[in-house]
Each structure stands twice: as C-alpha cells, then as structure tokens.
Chain A
Amino acid sequence: MKIDNALLQKLENLSSLKISNEKREDVIKQLSEIVEFVENLGEMDLDNEETTFTTIAGGTPLREDIPNVNPNIIQTILANAPLSENSFFVVPKIIE
C-alpha cells in the first residue's frame, strides 16, 4: 500500500498535524516503507484467531457513585495554562 501526498494530507487533517513542505517527501517515503513492512501480517493465517484487545480478563471495574473533588488540581492547571481568564480556558475562535 503506497502512501501518497493526498493520503498524507487526509491523515494530517485527522490528526491536526502539518508536515513541512521540505519534509513531506521523506515522510511519505518512510510511512510507505513502514506500512509495507507491517503488511507482512498478511502472511499469517489469522482467519480463525480471536482478537485480543487486552490481556486483562473480566469486565471493567464499576465505581460507586460518590462525589470527590481535589481543588488543588484545577488550581495548578489554571495557574500554568497557556491562556486563562476568570477560571475559563481561552482559545481563539474557529475562522472558516
């Protein structure tokens, strides 16, 4: 599977990244190489295998519905936030 510039653009949009123009060719080449490598999985006979998403058995633990807040956490975060005002995080608007 070859990665091309159009696919790279799509991936950039989905992941909010931008590869600079000088690096694009290299990145496309590297990604293509890696994708081609991982395609070796096609050589394995996996039709009858289960999928293993985790090695932990059982169901997800269920937490009791009891409130608990540590105000120190938000104080530290707001104090060091890139931009905050009156306890809000501030971000620029979307411009179409």
Chain B
Amino acid sequence: MITLKEALKLPKEEISNLRADLKRVIQEKKNIGAYVEQLTCKPISEYGEGIPVAIKDNIQVTGWEVTSGSNILQGYIAPYNATVIDNILKNGLAPFGRTNMDEFAMGSSTESSFYGKTLNPHNLKCVPGGSSGGSAAAVAGGMAIAALGSDTGGSIRQPAAFCGCVGMKPTYGKVSRYGLGAYSSSLDQIGPITQNVEDAAILYDIIAGHECRDSTSANIVHVKVGESLNPDRKMTIAVIENYLEDASLEVKAKMIDAIKVLEKEGHKIIYRNFINSKYDIATYYVIATAEASANLSRYDGVRYGNRAPSDNLKEMFRKSRSDGFGEEVKRRILLGTFVLSSGYYDAYYIKAQKARHFIKAQYEEIFKEAELIFMPVTPTTAFEFGSKSDPLEMYLSDIYTISLNLAGLPGISVPIGKDSKGLPIGGQLISKAYAEQDLFDGAMSLERALR
C-alpha cells in the first residue's frame, strides 16, 4: 500500500485511480469488516476527490450517516464537517469510508458495534482492538492509506498495537474535538492511524491547530513536526519498570528487545516506577463515565436518530434510549449517573479528579529527568472474540494507555515485533505536553532501529 507521504506527491490524475483501486480492495477484503460499509454492504462513503483517508464513524462528515457505531443514531445525517475533516480537505486529502468502532467509543475490541465485529487482519479469530478497531484494521489490512481514529483511554494506541500499525494520540487540545461525537469531553482526542511514523506526523500536522469553535482547543499556533523530524536525536528515555513486570512474557520480551535497540541507538535509558495502574483505571472509569452519562443525554429520539414510537413522552425517551444503546453503553451511563448523584459525588467524582491531579504530577516528575517515557501499550496481544465477557476484565486491559488521557499527554504506539502466534506487539512512547516533536523524533528513531 502506498504511503501517505508518497500519495501526497502523486499527480492529480493518479488520485482517482488510487481511489478506484482502494474501492476494489475494500470490496475484496469485505470479510474483515473494517468499514461500516463492508458490514452493511453499501458503497464507500465519499466526500471530495482527494487522497482517501478512512474516518472513524464518530467524526462528522457532511451528508454522511455518522452513527458512533450505534443503533440510536441510525438515520442521522451529519449536516456539518468536523474541524479535522475541513483540515484534511484543505490539504489534498478526502474522507473515504466510515470505519467500524465500539459503540460510542466505549470498548477495547470493537465487539460492541451495532454493525457487528471487525476482524484482526493478522488473525481472524482475534479482535482488532478498540474502540478504533475499524481504522486500525483498515490500515493494517491494506485497505486504507491512513485513517483517523479517536482516543479516550487508548482507543487509537491499543488497536494500532493489536493490528501492527502506528497510532498516535496528540496532547489534549492540539486537535480540535469540534465534530467528534463526544464520549468523555476532558479525555477525547482525534489522532492518526498510519502505516509508519512519518505518515502519522504528516497527518497529525494536517489535523492539528487551534479551533475557535472549541473552548478546549489549545490556543497556540501549531508548529509542524513533520518538516523537522530528526531520528538521530539522542534522548533520555524513562522505562516504567513495574508496568513492564505486569505485561505478558511475550510482550515483556519484545519490550526488552526494543529497549536494547534504543540503547544501541545512543539513547539513555533510566528506570522509574508508577503507582499501581489499578488506580489509573479506577480514576478513568469514574471520570469518563460521568462525563459520558451527560454527553449521551442528547440522544433522546426528539430531533434526530432512531426514535422508538410511543404515545407517552417519558416512555419514548426510555424506550428510544434503552433500545438504541447497547449493553456496555447503558452500563457506563448508569455508572456515570451513579458517581455524579448526590451522596456519591464527593466520594467518587471529586476523589477521581484529585487522583487525576496526582497521576498528572507523577508524569511531570519523570519528565524532569527524561524527554520520553517508554512502556508497553497493552499487557497482551490481541485476544480472541468473546474471551473477555466480564466488563471489568475488559477494562483492566487498558492499564498502560489510560493514564495518558488523564494527564492530557501525547503518546504513540509503534510496532515492535510479533508474538509466537504472529500477533503484533506495540511499544508506547510518551512525551511532555505539547512536545510532539520529541515524541515523533523518538518514534522515528525506534522505528528505524527496528527495521
């Protein structure tokens, strides 16, 4: 598959060929179900004529049915473009196809999508990860040049790791959320999922920047990272030791190999420890579900989407939402409602916001001594469909990705090898807030060294 960098150099006439070829491949590899259109047997959604970029189904594209992988948004046609879509259109790219996702971005396997499951291209019995499983499977499966995903607790990085491609989450605020169907407002970020690190930097540069229609958009001028990528930089990289210990043997082994490689490249490796990741997960599931419980209240069947008919208003609300939302979404709404309700607000919600401060400070401590942090993306490789039936078990697979979102930091997942069954393993680099240059330089170095 042509890279994004190469595609951007193509003369205009060849782009339509590129698009036609891609449509063919998407049709051929229908069984993977990376795109919603593959699962619903509809033609690929298009807008504009530029280089095709696959778009996660929670990012608004004018005229497309954009449903966050949910029954409740069936019939909703987006009437405006998300900021990231306007940005890619201005740069010769075009949204091309809706990628499958966990419903409302709540999940780590894309199993909860209304449309059905997406398969991991490396092993069809395994999940592609989630919630941006469709985007990662499309890129890894040779069905997309590049894709956009969203990351609230690891939803770009984890599927990228499971599928063996690159996935990057920007510093919170660097890429506008305007037009991203919200899950957890203070944690959500849109980011690139690509075949290599340089493509991720290019796509990141295109989508990043201040948006005045977004009050949480960082008010700084974006300095492009793609033009000054330097894989030769030598940096101090902190490895989080206790996280390494908690990973599976195969993930740990590949991580150790990667650390050796980084050392050989001339980076200085130091070892540090974080608090037990169970606190990160607890903090995340209080904050994210609280915000989500309110963000999803707009789905009431009144103005758009799927309404369950009734003679009685209250029944209409209840039935539309209960029929329209899947099990996991309902669970998280109930949980979020619980932690915000009177009597519990201080004990859960406020406490979690304090824990968040602690977690953020923990990172800042380490960044006093290192430019980057290196840790696993996931404790295991892609698991089999249906193997995690207990919600809590599923949540616990997010141990390495979640704390970044809480701290608002940028992170990138880079493939570092495969396990004995051929399933990809990802390594995660993290930098200080707004230091994406460090992040990409380090990732370029790692990628090159592993080649």
Contact = CB atoms under 8 A, between A and B. Distances in A.
Contacts of A51: 350, 353-354, 356-357
Interface string A23-40: 100010011011101111
Given A27-B334, A38-B285, A63-B212, 19 more contacts: A11-B337, A15-B293, A27-B330, A30-B390, A31-B331, A31-B334, A37-B281, A38-B352, A39-B282, A54-B186, A55-B360, A56-B216, A60-B215, A76-B79, A77-B304, A81-B303, A83-B307, A92-B312, A93-B313
Interface of B: 75-77, 79-80, 172-173, 186, 212, 215-216, 218-219, 275, 278-279, 281-283, 285-286, 293, 297, 300-307, 310-319, 321-322, 325, 327, 330-331, 333-335, 337-339, 341, 348, 350-358, 360, 390-392, 395, 407-408, 433
A49 B350 CA distance: 11
Contact of A81 (B304, B319, B407): B304
B338 A17 contact: no
A77 B79 contact: yes
Interface string A56-84: 10101101000000101111110111110
Contacts of A53: 186, 353
Contact of A92 (B275, B304, B316): B316
Contact of A46 (B304, B314, B351): B351
Given A18-B319, A38-B282, A38-B348, A61 B212 contact: yes
A30 B221 CA distance: 45
Given A72-B79, A76-B77, A77-B303, A92 B334 contact: no
Contacts of B354: 46, 49-52
B186 A16 contact: no
11 contacts: A12-B334, A41-B351, A46-B354, A46-B358, A49-B355, A51-B356, A53-B186, A55-B172, A75-B79, A76-B79, A80-B77
A6 interface: no
A17 B358 contact: no
Contacts of A94: 312-314
Given A11-B338, A12-B334, A41 B282 contact: yes
Given A76-B79, A80-B75, A91 B302 contact: yes
Contacts of B341: 10-11, 14
Given A11-B337, A17-B325, A52-B356, A73 B302 contact: no
A54 B307 CA distance: 34
Nearest to A51: B353
Contacts of B335: 31, 34-35
Nearest to B300: A16
A17 B321 contact: yes
Contacts of A41: 279, 282-283, 286, 348, 351-352, 355
Contact of B173 (A12, A37, A56, A89): A56
B352 A82 contact: no
Nearest to A42: B351
Contacts of A31: 331, 334-335, 338
B303 to A, nearest CB: 5
Contacts of B330: 17, 19, 27
Given A73-B80, A92-B312, A95-B312, A55 B318 contact: no
Contacts of A56: 172-173, 216, 218, 408
A74 B80 CA distance: 11
Contacts of B297: 15-16
B217 to A, nearest CB: 8
B114 to A, nearest CB: 17
Contacts of B325: 17
B337 A33 contact: no
Contacts of B279: 40-41, 43-44
